[in-house]
Structure 1
Amino acid sequence: MFKDVLMPALIDTVYMVAVSTIFTLILGFISAVGLVISSPKGLWPNVIIYKTLNFVINVLRSFPFIILMISIFPLTKFIAGTTIGTNAAIVPLTFGAAPFAARIIESALLEVDYGIIEAAKSVGAKTHQIIFGVMLKEAMPSIVLGVTLTVINIIGYSAMAGTVGGGGLGDVAVKYGYYRFKTDIMIYTVIILIAVVQIIQASGNLLYRKMIK
């Protein structure tokens, strides 16, 4: 049963989570940087950009994932060509997790000592140099912890995606564990998810400790 059902489901889950994480971090980083530099005390203050980004992120974060997933079915079909399967699940997973990642990265960047930023500006550093060479470098340990939390959130989202045909371990848990009353499959699925989360959390904590030394 593990080889025929659980292993393919685990592979699908890893695939969904990995690809979704990449897109989530790209969107999250762009949004976070946009918020930080366009804020009233940012490098390029812009009220319109700041309020627009802030509003969009807050709106997306207010949606429970399962509702968000269903509500963007048309967009999912447009991007992935279908609304079921692992590739289709990547779209709502990304839109569901990106706002969370944006806030995490924004918080990490805002924690950077403003004196360091001022020092960089005083020696003529350009905006992109301050963002990537100063702020991102200083905030990286906190970002690592935030990314760890984001990945764990995406794993949880991927399990929910399985309830509406998203594939992966959540799909197996519903089809076999719930509809066919195979309690052992449900238990195995939960154990696998717990193990995956523990591995990711431990890896994130280890990387964080190495970075702060």
Structure 2
Amino acid sequence: MTGICEGRVVIVTGAGRGIGREHALEFARQGAKVVVNDLGTARDGGGRSGGPALAVAEKIEALGGHAVANCDDVADWDGAARLVKMAVSAYGRLDVLVNNAGFLRDRMLVSMTEHEWDEVIRVHLKGHFLPLRHAAAHWRERSKAGERVAARVINTSSGAGLLGSVGQGNYAAAKGGIATLTQVAAAELARYGVTVNAVAPAARTRMT
């Protein structure tokens, strides 16, 4: 499999299903080596299974690409660190981070619980920050060692984060935070050869 990402090493979080799965498959079609991260949770974030990540990695391998599955929690400091280390251990480097993992716990503000608020903010916003934090340290180290780094971060915001969405106060706040985090990261990491952008996709997936 060859293409515009030939030889690049890519992490995609939340890549077991939906948009993340399509990110992973297309990167592989374009020649990238992919670390497929997914906790394998239910739509509400409950449960855990390595099946979805493994299935996508196996599909990529069957198509002639290169992939490994990872089931670490991206909203956990050590889990996000292990994710980045897996990419470096498996393929010697990391070039692209696609932050995509997330889930919904929709509720009107007057009915939302503290747990529903905290969990969505944790998975979406903290789950973007931590992989970005550990990936950035990897790229800074390479840059300071004299290497010319050309790395990419693609974050996942949402129309809800840009315009608001009734019944999604937690999700919209997290996605708005991701948009702003993206701007800060772009300004801070440019010196190390890293570009940081965000997309705000709309798709009919299991989550929507």
TM-score (norm 2): 0.28
Task: Name the structure with the higher helix share.
Answer: 1
TM-score (norm 1): 0.27
Structure scoring higher RCO (CA < 8 A, sep ≥ 6) equals: 1
Which is greater in Rg? Answer: 1
Task: Name the structure with the higher strand share.
Answer: 2
